[in-house]
Protein backbone atom coordinates (compact mmCIF):
# COMPACT_ATOMS: atom_id res chain seq x y z
CA UNK A 1 0.00 0.00 0.00
CA UNK A 2 2.86 2.35 0.83
CA UNK A 3 4.40 1.79 -2.59
CA UNK A 4 1.03 2.46 -4.22
CA UNK A 5 0.64 5.69 -2.24
CA UNK A 6 4.15 6.80 -3.23
CA UNK A 7 3.30 6.08 -6.86
CA UNK A 8 0.18 8.28 -6.79
CA UNK A 9 2.03 11.03 -4.93
CA UNK A 10 4.71 10.98 -7.60
CA UNK A 11 2.07 11.00 -10.33
CA UNK A 12 0.37 14.01 -8.79
CA UNK A 13 3.68 15.83 -8.58
CA UNK A 14 4.41 14.91 -12.20
CA UNK A 15 1.05 16.20 -13.36
CA UNK A 16 1.53 19.40 -11.39
CA UNK A 17 4.96 19.94 -12.93
CA UNK A 18 3.53 19.25 -16.39
CA UNK A 19 0.79 21.83 -15.84
CA UNK A 20 3.35 24.36 -14.65
CA UNK A 21 5.53 23.64 -17.69
CA UNK A 22 2.59 23.97 -20.07
CA UNK A 23 1.56 27.24 -18.44
CA UNK A 24 5.12 28.50 -18.76
CA UNK A 25 5.23 27.51 -22.42
CA UNK A 26 1.87 29.20 -23.01
CA UNK A 27 3.10 32.35 -21.29
CA UNK A 28 6.29 32.36 -23.37
CA UNK A 29 4.26 31.81 -26.55
CA UNK A 30 1.87 34.64 -25.69
CA UNK A 31 4.80 36.90 -24.80
CA UNK A 32 6.48 36.41 -28.16
CA UNK A 33 3.23 36.46 -30.14
CA UNK A 34 2.07 39.72 -28.56
CA UNK A 35 5.47 41.38 -28.24
CA UNK A 36 5.37 44.66 -30.09
CA UNK A 37 8.04 46.70 -31.81
CA UNK A 38 7.60 50.14 -33.30
CA UNK A 39 9.64 52.53 -35.41
CA UNK A 40 9.42 55.98 -36.93
CA UNK A 41 11.39 56.75 -40.10
CA UNK A 42 11.43 59.50 -42.70
CA UNK A 43 11.07 57.98 -46.14
CA UNK A 44 9.24 58.79 -49.39
CA UNK A 45 9.20 62.41 -48.27
CA UNK A 46 6.99 61.59 -45.30
CA UNK A 47 7.04 60.08 -41.82
CA UNK A 48 6.56 56.31 -41.80
CA UNK A 49 5.43 54.60 -38.61
CA UNK A 50 5.31 50.85 -38.04
CA UNK A 51 3.77 48.94 -35.15
CA UNK A 52 4.48 45.24 -35.59
CA UNK A 53 3.63 42.33 -33.29
CA UNK A 54 5.17 38.87 -32.96
CA UNK A 55 8.49 37.10 -32.38
CA UNK A 56 10.09 38.50 -35.56
CA UNK A 57 8.64 41.99 -35.26
CA UNK A 58 11.97 43.80 -34.99
CA UNK A 59 13.44 41.97 -37.98
CA UNK A 60 10.30 42.63 -40.04
CA UNK A 61 10.39 46.34 -39.25
CA UNK A 62 13.99 46.60 -40.43
CA UNK A 63 13.31 44.70 -43.65
CA UNK A 64 10.28 46.87 -44.45
CA UNK A 65 12.23 50.05 -43.70
CA UNK A 66 15.07 48.94 -45.97
CA UNK A 67 12.74 47.86 -48.77
CA UNK A 68 10.74 51.10 -48.82
CA UNK A 69 13.94 53.17 -48.73
CA UNK A 70 15.12 51.10 -51.70
CA UNK A 71 11.83 51.74 -53.50
CA UNK A 72 12.30 55.47 -52.96
CA UNK A 73 15.71 55.24 -54.63
CA UNK A 74 14.26 53.25 -57.55
CA UNK A 75 11.15 55.39 -58.12
CA UNK A 76 12.35 58.92 -57.36
CA UNK A 77 11.63 61.53 -60.00
CA UNK A 78 14.50 63.66 -58.72
CA UNK A 79 17.32 61.19 -57.97
CA UNK A 80 19.46 60.94 -61.13
CA UNK A 81 20.39 57.29 -60.64
CA UNK A 82 16.85 56.03 -60.01
CA UNK A 83 15.11 53.75 -62.52
CA UNK A 84 12.52 56.44 -63.18
CA UNK A 85 15.07 59.22 -63.69
CA UNK A 86 17.05 57.04 -66.10
CA UNK A 87 13.87 56.14 -68.00
CA UNK A 88 12.95 59.82 -68.25
CA UNK A 89 16.45 60.86 -69.34
CA UNK A 90 16.34 58.38 -72.24
CA UNK A 91 12.90 59.49 -73.48
CA UNK A 92 12.66 59.43 -77.26
CA UNK A 93 16.02 57.68 -77.55
CA UNK A 94 16.42 54.15 -76.21
CA UNK A 95 15.06 51.40 -73.97
CA UNK A 96 16.28 51.36 -70.37
CA UNK A 97 16.78 48.21 -68.29
CA UNK A 98 14.62 48.38 -65.16
CA UNK A 99 14.57 46.44 -61.92
CA UNK A 100 11.86 43.79 -61.86
CA UNK A 101 10.01 45.70 -59.12
CA UNK A 102 10.02 48.98 -61.07
CA UNK A 103 8.99 47.22 -64.26
CA UNK A 104 6.06 45.46 -62.57
CA UNK A 105 4.90 48.67 -60.91
CA UNK A 106 5.04 50.56 -64.22
CA UNK A 107 2.95 47.82 -65.82
CA UNK A 108 0.42 48.06 -63.00
CA UNK A 109 0.39 51.87 -63.09
CA UNK A 110 -0.15 51.96 -66.84
CA UNK A 111 -3.04 49.48 -66.56
CA UNK A 112 -4.63 51.49 -63.76
CA UNK A 113 -4.26 54.87 -65.44
CA UNK A 114 -6.07 53.50 -68.51
CA UNK A 115 -9.14 53.07 -66.29
CA UNK A 116 -9.36 56.82 -65.62
CA UNK A 117 -7.38 58.55 -68.42
CA UNK A 118 -9.09 61.91 -67.92
CA UNK A 119 -8.21 62.02 -64.24
CA UNK A 120 -4.83 60.29 -63.86
CA UNK A 121 -1.64 60.01 -65.90
CA UNK A 122 1.75 58.62 -64.96
CA UNK A 123 3.36 60.72 -67.73
CA UNK A 124 2.31 63.90 -65.92
CA UNK A 125 5.95 64.48 -64.83
CA UNK A 126 6.81 67.32 -67.28
CA UNK A 127 4.03 69.35 -65.69
CA UNK A 128 4.94 68.14 -62.17
CA UNK A 129 8.44 69.49 -62.72
CA UNK A 130 7.20 72.75 -64.25
CA UNK A 131 4.98 73.51 -61.26
CA UNK A 132 7.40 72.17 -58.62
CA UNK A 133 4.65 72.17 -56.02
CA UNK A 134 6.31 69.49 -53.88
CA UNK A 135 9.72 71.16 -54.10
CA UNK A 136 11.22 74.13 -52.25
CA UNK A 137 10.65 76.42 -55.24
CA UNK A 138 7.07 76.09 -56.54
CA UNK A 139 5.86 78.46 -59.26
CA UNK A 140 2.97 79.12 -61.61
CA UNK A 141 3.97 78.29 -65.21
CA UNK A 142 2.68 80.42 -68.04
CA UNK A 143 -0.21 79.10 -70.11
CA UNK A 144 2.13 78.98 -73.10
CA UNK A 145 4.52 76.71 -71.20
CA UNK A 146 1.66 74.46 -70.08
CA UNK A 147 0.35 74.23 -73.65
CA UNK A 148 3.79 73.11 -74.83
CA UNK A 149 4.00 70.39 -72.18
CA UNK A 150 0.48 68.96 -72.42
CA UNK A 151 1.13 66.89 -75.58
CA UNK A 152 3.84 65.03 -73.66
CA UNK A 153 1.22 63.64 -71.26
CA UNK A 154 0.45 60.37 -73.02
CA UNK A 155 0.64 57.10 -71.09
CA UNK A 156 0.31 55.07 -74.29
CA UNK A 157 3.73 56.38 -75.27
CA UNK A 158 5.30 54.40 -72.44
CA UNK A 159 6.44 51.09 -73.96
CA UNK A 160 7.33 48.22 -71.64
CA UNK A 161 8.97 45.10 -73.03
CA UNK A 162 11.15 42.30 -71.65
CA UNK A 163 12.10 44.10 -68.45
CA UNK A 164 12.88 47.35 -70.26
CA UNK A 165 11.02 50.58 -70.85
CA UNK A 166 11.08 53.56 -73.16
CA UNK A 167 9.11 56.77 -73.59
CA UNK A 168 8.46 57.41 -77.28
CA UNK A 169 8.62 61.20 -77.22
CA UNK A 170 11.63 63.26 -76.24
CA UNK A 171 10.82 65.39 -73.20
CA UNK A 172 8.34 62.89 -71.78
CA UNK A 173 8.72 61.75 -68.19
CA UNK A 174 7.04 59.43 -65.70
CA UNK A 175 5.96 60.35 -62.17
CA UNK A 176 4.78 57.48 -59.95
CA UNK A 177 3.99 59.72 -56.98
CA UNK A 178 0.29 58.95 -57.39
CA UNK A 179 0.68 55.28 -56.43
CA UNK A 180 4.12 54.95 -54.80
CA UNK A 181 2.97 54.97 -51.16
CA UNK A 182 0.28 52.41 -51.87
CA UNK A 183 2.84 50.24 -53.64
CA UNK A 184 5.08 50.57 -50.57
CA UNK A 185 2.28 49.07 -48.48
CA UNK A 186 2.10 46.14 -50.89
CA UNK A 187 5.86 45.62 -50.53
CA UNK A 188 5.51 45.70 -46.75
CA UNK A 189 2.68 43.15 -46.90
CA UNK A 190 4.91 40.77 -48.87
CA UNK A 191 7.65 41.06 -46.24
CA UNK A 192 5.18 40.51 -43.40
CA UNK A 193 4.05 37.37 -45.23
CA UNK A 194 7.62 36.07 -45.43
CA UNK A 195 8.26 36.88 -41.77
CA UNK A 196 4.99 35.26 -40.61
CA UNK A 197 3.83 38.56 -39.12
CA UNK A 198 0.09 38.36 -38.55
CA UNK A 199 -0.56 41.72 -36.88
CA UNK A 200 0.86 45.08 -37.91
CA UNK A 201 -0.04 48.68 -38.65
CA UNK A 202 1.92 50.71 -41.23
CA UNK A 203 1.25 54.43 -41.54
CA UNK A 204 2.81 56.50 -44.33
CA UNK A 205 2.28 60.13 -43.45
CA UNK A 206 -1.34 59.59 -42.43
CA UNK A 207 -2.42 59.51 -46.07
CA UNK A 208 -1.76 55.81 -46.71
CA UNK A 209 -2.36 53.25 -43.97
CA UNK A 210 -2.11 49.47 -44.05
CA UNK A 211 -3.62 47.36 -41.26
CA UNK A 212 -2.72 43.69 -41.11
CA UNK A 213 -4.78 41.42 -38.88
CA UNK A 214 -5.83 42.89 -35.55
CA UNK A 215 -4.30 44.06 -32.33
CA UNK A 216 -2.98 41.17 -30.21
CA UNK A 217 -6.11 41.31 -28.03
CA UNK A 218 -8.24 40.60 -31.09
CA UNK A 219 -9.72 44.08 -31.46
CA UNK A 220 -9.50 45.81 -34.82
CA UNK A 221 -7.19 48.70 -35.59
CA UNK A 222 -9.15 51.94 -35.86
CA UNK A 223 -8.12 54.86 -38.04
CA UNK A 224 -9.54 58.28 -38.68
CA UNK A 225 -10.66 60.14 -41.79
CA UNK A 226 -8.87 63.46 -41.47
CA UNK A 227 -10.57 66.82 -41.21
CA UNK A 228 -9.06 68.85 -44.09
CA UNK A 229 -9.49 72.01 -42.05
CA UNK A 230 -7.51 70.64 -39.11
CA UNK A 231 -4.12 69.11 -38.44
CA UNK A 232 -3.17 65.46 -38.89
CA UNK A 233 -4.56 64.54 -35.48
CA UNK A 234 -8.06 65.84 -36.23
CA UNK A 235 -10.62 63.44 -37.71
CA UNK A 236 -14.22 63.65 -38.87
CA UNK A 237 -14.92 59.97 -38.34
CA UNK A 238 -13.19 56.73 -37.46
CA UNK A 239 -13.63 53.12 -38.57
CA UNK A 240 -12.06 49.67 -38.27
CA UNK A 241 -9.38 48.66 -40.74
CA UNK A 242 -8.26 45.06 -41.21
CA UNK A 243 -6.17 43.40 -43.94
CA UNK A 244 -6.52 46.39 -46.24
CA UNK A 245 -5.02 49.73 -47.23
CA UNK A 246 -6.83 53.04 -46.81
CA UNK A 247 -5.42 55.81 -49.02
CA UNK A 248 -6.49 59.44 -48.82
CA UNK A 249 -6.06 62.27 -51.34
CA UNK A 250 -6.99 65.93 -51.14
CA UNK A 251 -5.90 69.41 -52.06
CA UNK A 252 -5.06 70.19 -48.43
CA UNK A 253 -2.06 67.82 -48.36
CA UNK A 254 0.49 69.83 -50.38
CA UNK A 255 0.06 73.24 -51.90
CA UNK A 256 1.50 76.72 -52.22
CA UNK A 257 -0.10 80.14 -52.41
CA UNK A 258 0.69 82.99 -54.77
CA UNK A 259 -1.14 86.31 -55.06
CA UNK A 260 -3.86 85.00 -52.78
CA UNK A 261 -4.51 81.85 -54.86
CA UNK A 262 -3.91 78.34 -53.52
CA UNK A 263 -2.41 75.80 -55.94
CA UNK A 264 -2.63 72.19 -54.73
CA UNK A 265 -0.36 69.39 -55.93
CA UNK A 266 -2.75 67.07 -57.83
CA UNK A 267 -2.60 68.14 -61.48
CA UNK A 268 -5.30 67.71 -64.12
CA UNK A 269 -3.83 65.79 -67.10
CA UNK A 270 -6.37 67.48 -69.39
CA UNK A 271 -5.59 71.10 -68.53
CA UNK A 272 -2.13 70.97 -66.95
CA UNK A 273 -3.40 73.01 -64.01
CA UNK A 274 -4.09 71.88 -60.45
CA UNK A 275 -7.36 69.94 -60.23
CA UNK A 276 -10.45 72.03 -59.56
CA UNK A 277 -12.57 69.58 -57.60
CA UNK A 278 -15.81 69.93 -55.68
CA UNK A 279 -14.37 67.36 -53.28
CA UNK A 280 -12.20 68.29 -50.33
CA UNK A 281 -10.95 64.81 -49.56
CA UNK A 282 -11.27 61.24 -50.84
CA UNK A 283 -10.34 58.01 -49.05
CA UNK A 284 -10.36 54.60 -50.75
CA UNK A 285 -10.27 51.17 -49.12
CA UNK A 286 -8.73 48.22 -50.99
CA UNK A 287 -6.65 45.13 -50.34
CA UNK A 288 -4.09 46.28 -52.91
CA UNK A 289 -2.27 49.43 -51.86
CA UNK A 290 -1.28 50.68 -55.32
CA UNK A 291 -4.91 50.44 -56.44
CA UNK A 292 -6.14 52.27 -53.33
CA UNK A 293 -3.61 55.05 -53.91
CA UNK A 294 -4.54 55.33 -57.59
CA UNK A 295 -8.29 55.46 -57.01
CA UNK A 296 -8.10 58.01 -54.19
CA UNK A 297 -6.20 60.35 -56.53
CA UNK A 298 -8.39 59.65 -59.56
CA UNK A 299 -11.69 60.01 -57.71
CA UNK A 300 -10.57 63.32 -56.22
CA UNK A 301 -9.71 64.59 -59.70
CA UNK A 302 -13.00 63.35 -61.16
CA UNK A 303 -15.16 65.26 -58.72
CA UNK A 304 -18.20 64.20 -56.72
CA UNK A 305 -20.63 62.99 -59.39
CA UNK A 306 -18.22 60.71 -61.23
CA UNK A 307 -16.67 59.51 -57.99
CA UNK A 308 -20.11 58.50 -56.76
CA UNK A 309 -20.61 56.50 -59.95
CA UNK A 310 -17.44 54.54 -59.20
CA UNK A 311 -18.62 53.94 -55.63
CA UNK A 312 -21.93 52.61 -56.91
CA UNK A 313 -19.96 50.22 -59.12
CA UNK A 314 -18.16 48.78 -56.10
CA UNK A 315 -15.25 51.06 -55.13
CA UNK A 316 -15.21 51.34 -51.32
CA UNK A 317 -14.62 55.00 -50.55
CA UNK A 318 -15.34 58.02 -48.38
CA UNK A 319 -15.91 61.39 -50.06
CA UNK A 320 -16.12 64.78 -48.40
CA UNK A 321 -17.58 67.49 -50.63
CA UNK A 322 -17.51 71.26 -50.38
CA UNK A 323 -21.03 71.33 -48.93
CA UNK A 324 -19.99 69.32 -45.88
CA UNK A 325 -21.53 66.00 -46.90
CA UNK A 326 -19.71 62.75 -46.30
CA UNK A 327 -20.53 60.07 -48.85
CA UNK A 328 -19.61 56.71 -47.32
CA UNK A 329 -19.64 53.23 -48.88
CA UNK A 330 -21.84 50.83 -46.93
CA UNK A 331 -18.82 48.60 -46.16
CA UNK A 332 -17.88 51.12 -43.44
CA UNK A 333 -21.32 51.22 -41.85
CA UNK A 334 -20.86 48.63 -39.07
CA UNK A 335 -17.70 50.15 -37.58
CA UNK A 336 -18.06 53.83 -38.45
CA UNK A 337 -18.18 56.41 -35.69
CA UNK A 338 -18.91 60.03 -36.58
CA UNK A 339 -16.76 62.31 -34.45
CA UNK A 340 -18.51 65.62 -35.21
CA UNK A 341 -22.05 66.84 -35.68
CA UNK A 342 -21.07 69.37 -38.34
CA UNK A 343 -21.28 66.95 -41.28
CA UNK A 344 -24.04 64.88 -42.83
CA UNK A 345 -23.36 61.22 -43.66
CA UNK A 346 -24.91 59.67 -46.75
CA UNK A 347 -24.32 55.94 -47.27
CA UNK A 348 -23.74 54.75 -50.81
CA UNK A 349 -24.92 51.20 -51.53
pLDDT digits (tens, 9 = 90+) for 137-163: 999 999 999 999 999 999 999 999 999
Give percent of the chain above pLDDT 90.
Answer: 85
Residues 6+ apart with CB under 8 A from 305: none
pLDDT at 132: 95
Domain ranges of the chain: 34-69+181-348, 74-167
Given the candidates 2.40.30.10, 1.10.3980.10, 3.20.20.70, 1.10.760.10, the CATH classification of the domain at 74-167 is: 1.10.3980.10
| Longest distance between any two alpha carbons in the chain, whole Å | 108
Q: Do domains 34-69+181-348 and 74-167 have the same CATH topology?
A: no
pTM of the model: 0.89
Among 174, 205, 195, smallest CA distance to 75 is for: 174
Among 64, 153, 159, smallest CA distance to 106 is for: 159
pLDDT digits (tens, 9 = 90+) for 12-33: 544 444 444 444 334 434 444 5
pLDDT digits (tens, 9 = 90+) for 180-220: 999 999 999 999 999 999 999 999 999 999 999 999 999 99
Average pLDDT of the chain is 91
Report DSSP state, residue 332: G
CATH number for the segment(s) 34-69+181-348: 3.10.520.10
Amino acid sequence: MKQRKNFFDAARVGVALLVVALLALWWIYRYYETRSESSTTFVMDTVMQQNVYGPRAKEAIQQVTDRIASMESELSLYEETSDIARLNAAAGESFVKLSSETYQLLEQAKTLSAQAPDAFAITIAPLTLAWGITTDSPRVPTQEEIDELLPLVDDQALILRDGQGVLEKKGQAVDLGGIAKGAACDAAAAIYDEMKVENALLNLGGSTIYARGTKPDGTAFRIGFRDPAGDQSSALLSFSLQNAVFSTSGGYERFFEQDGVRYQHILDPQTGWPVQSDLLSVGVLMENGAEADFYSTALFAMGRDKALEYMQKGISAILLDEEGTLYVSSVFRDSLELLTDDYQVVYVE
